[in-house]
Amino acid sequence: MEKVATAAAPAAIGPYSQAITANGFVFTSGQIPLDPATGAVVEGGITEQARQSMKNVKAVLEAAGADLTTVAKTTCFLADMGDFAAFNEVYAGYFTGNPARSCVAVKDLPKGVLCEVEAVAIVKS
């Protein structure tokens, strides 16, 4: 197993890594809508936060030798399932290959954000 780290996505805010590669796969940690340059939550609602979370997932995948087209599975966490349609609209613009997905509402997310996304992808040869 190898740890993945990139300055193009927010640094881990706890005892974990941005991702791990193992046996040809990359497993990302959940990416929340933090601006990697400032470490601050991006301003705006679910659309802006979903977009930043997707950008962060993309950056971590690319650092691991994968990309959005090699994603096999995502897990998405929403603070409010009422945001599902708006979140889904942003998501569809990034994951055009329609990977398997789970999307659940949770009570709270780190830093009070509205969404978090994690992915499992195949590392390109």
Q: What share of the chain is helix, strand, coil (3-state, %, to 5)?
A: 30, 30, 40
Annotated catalytic residue, options 103, 109, 122, 123: 103
**CATH number, residue 22:** 3.30.1330.40
Q: Tell me if residue 115 is catalytic.
A: no
Orientation of helix 46-63 relative to helix 84-94, angle to 10°:
30
Report pLDDT digits (tens) over 13-62: 789 999 999 999 999 999 999 999 999 999 999 999 999 999 999 999 99
Domain that holds residue 38: 2-122
Number of folded domains that form the chain: 1
Burial of 43 (0-12, 13-18, 19+ CB in 10 A): exposed
Report pLDDT digits (tens) over 56-89: 999 999 999 999 999 999 999 999 999 999 999 9
